[in-house]
Amino acid sequence: MTFRFPSSGQFVKWAPFPHPELDFSAEAERMSWARRWLTVPEVLEVGTDADSQWLRTRALPGRSAVHPFWRARPRTAARGIGSGLRRLHDRLPADECPFSWSVESRVHRAAAERRQELLDTAPPIDRLVVCHADACTPNTLLDERGEPVGHVDLGRLGVADRWADLAIATYSLAWNFPGDWEDELLDAYGIARDEERIAYYRRLWDAT
């Protein structure tokens, strides 16, 4: 659960502890690393007790790309997400990143009978970048003009092929907006569609 405290400009994320998928200390570590180059939430506190974990951060300006304001303007939102993802990939230094989101680091989450197939069918790397690793529509914040102003939910940030992010950023548009806006996102990012890599990284996402 995520709680917003408007008077103090803060958010608190809460989850059970331990949790099979969520590790707020890992997310805090990734945000603190990324803040040197990119606009992401400032970590104010992270902690655990016997059955809970929490992460307190300072709010960023802008609206989530799934805010009703942007649901009514899907083309602008898709382009903002695409340009924001390009900025993230260009600014974060992959050669200095201590975190991985590679195929090899992810396949253990798949069913045992799928793991070797996912390893064997991985396409060649196009470009290694620091991926957001959850580049779904809600996790880009946009200003009033639709320009990207920040990113949230960075708990799995790590180095991978840029198509690991692009496949999911485009995939998620249909979950949030009517119509097909995938090519708008890719155009704003500045890349031609790659059907093989999109199909593979969506398959990996669904499996893991």
Angstrom distances, CA of residue 102 to CA of 73, 113, 131 = 33, 19, 10
CATH number at residue 133: 3.90.1200.10
The predicted model gives 43-48 an average pLDDT of: 97
* Mean model confidence pLDDT for the chain: 97
Structure tokens at 5: 């405290």
Verify that 70 and 40 share a domain, yes or no: no
Verify that 9 and 87 share a domain, yes or no: no
Q: Are 165 and 85 in contact (CB under 8 A)?
A: yes
Verify that 47 and 67 share a domain, yes or no: no
Verify that 104 and 117 share a domain, yes or no: yes
pLDDT in tens, 148-183: 999 999 999 999 999 999 999 999 999 999 999 999
Instruction: Answer yes or no: is pLDDT of 71 > 90.
Output: yes
- Catalytic residue ranges: 134
User: Can you give the pLDDT at residue 20?
Assistant: 87
Domain around 29: 2-58
Structure tokens at 67: 């805010």
Q: Measured between alpha carbons, how far is 115 from 85 in angstroms, rounded to an integer?
A: 28
Q: How many domains does the chain divide into?
A: 2
Domain boundary among 58, 83, 103: 58
Q: Measured between alpha carbons, how far is 74 from 4 in angstroms, rounded to an integer?
A: 25
Quote the DSSP letter at residue 42.
Answer: P
Verify that 24 and 126 share a domain, yes or no: no
Q: Measured between alpha carbons, how far is 42 from 62 in angstroms, rounded to an integer?
A: 15
Verify that 112 and 173 share a domain, yes or no: yes
Q: Which residues pair with 140 in a beta bridge?
A: 151
Verify that 91 and 151 share a domain, yes or no: yes
Q: What angle do CA 137, 26, 41 make, to 5 degrees?
A: 50
Verify that 111 and 194 share a domain, yes or no: yes
Verify that 126 and 89 share a domain, yes or no: yes
Domain boundary among 43, 58, 73: 58
Q: Measured between alpha carbons, how far is 160 from 127 in angstroms, rounded to an integer?
A: 8
Q: Which of 198, 191, 183 is nearest to 74 (CA)?
A: 183
The predicted model gives 78-97 an average pLDDT of: 98
Structure tokens at 49: 């007790």
CATH number at residue 33: 3.30.200.20
User: Torsions phi, psi of 156, nearest 5?
Assistant: -120, 10
Verify that 7 and 43 share a domain, yes or no: yes
Predicted structure pTM score: 0.95
pLDDT in tens, 105-144: 999 999 999 999 999 999 999 999 999 999 999 999 999 9
Domain boundary among 15, 36, 58: 58
